[in-house]
Copies of this chain bind each other. A is one copy, B any other.
Amino acid sequence: MTTIARDDQCRLLVRCPDGPGIVAAISTFLHENGANIIESNQYTTDAKTGTFFMRIEFHITNLVEKRSTMEADFANLAAAKSMDYRFFYLNELKRTAIFVSKETHCLMELLWEWQGGNLKTDIACVVSNHEDARDVVESLGLPFHYIPANKDIRLQVEAEQIKLMEAYDIDLIVLARYMQILTPNFVERFEDRIINIHHSFLPAFIGARPYERAYDRGVKLVGATAHYVTNDLDEGPIIEQDIERVDHRDQVADMKKIGQKAERRVLARAVKWHLEDRIIVKQNKTIVFG
């Protein structure tokens, strides 16, 4: 591809009742606004009474100037088709906060992928209830906030965290092995914007100590699941899952190390897809436009 300026690039996500002519209407609108489509994906839940989902990535020369007019015009089309929609401009990087506890492998993977240019985001800060990650975070020039946490001071901790999220104007929170449960108050403020990595292939081993329980059950695969956080623990919409093989020689400690490879990979993919606006939450599931 010839390089297109990020300033000129945009993604449009649409959800609406299915019906005739939606793709034609959207693509005609974009054409009339001078857009060139880069990538387009759609999905309909049911051919007759279903819901239509679309993601279009496009570019328009001098988009920055044309943007407000385009949005105003699109509002009319959207109203006519009962669309729920949003434009995402590529020159507006999402602002990400990473929460981590003692184990830093997932944090490290995210920082690495970010440094390598695979995660297009501003990492605004890292928040932890332990000091373990401070050095690596600060060595990259990123703010590190140590906020001790336990279940007795949960509300007070979350109040401080929410203040921080607001101060940094955070779009996405990634729980990169953050071992504290969040309250509904916190979760609801960031609906579909908190990604957690759980260290099992859900719904197996929901809750605490999944590797210990995997060991006890004698499984031959360990896994990891990235999902949006909801108020039902480990029940949120699954974004991505993957597994690694283990065998009878692997003790719990081995399974943890092996599983970390899956955790790293799965979380990095899920965050990348979120940042690229490829994920649409639909009840307790996700549509991921690959």
User: Which A residues lie at the B interface, using CB under 8 A?
Assistant: 1-2, 4, 20-21, 23-24, 27-28, 30-32, 34, 36-40, 42-44, 46-48, 59, 105, 108, 112, 116, 118, 139, 201-205, 217-221, 223, 237-243, 247-249, 251, 257, 260-261, 265, 282, 284-288, 290
- Contacting pair A241 B257 (CB below 8 A): no
Identify A34's interface contact among B20, B249, B261, CB under 8 A.
B20
Identify A36's interface contact among B20, B36, B265, CB under 8 A.
B20
Which residue of B has the minimal Cβ distance to A237?
Answer: B218
- Contacting pair B221 A243 (CB below 8 A): yes
A202 CB, nearest partner CB in chain B, Å: 7
Chain B residues with CB under 8 Å of A287's CB are 248
* Complex Cα–Cα for A243 and B42 (A): 26
Q: Is the interface of A mostly helix, strand, loop or mixed?
A: mixed
Identify A204's interface contact among B39, B59, B203, B249, CB under 8 A.
B203
* Complex Cα–Cα for A28 and B201 (A): 43
Which residue of B has the minimal Cβ distance to A289?
Answer: B248
- Contacting pair A217 B201 (CB below 8 A): no
Could you name 14 residue pairs across A and B whose Cβ atoms are closer than 8 Å?
A4-B47, A20-B31, A23-B37, A24-B27, A38-B47, A40-B40, A47-B59, A139-B139, A201-B204, A218-B238, A219-B238, A243-B243, A247-B288, A290-B290
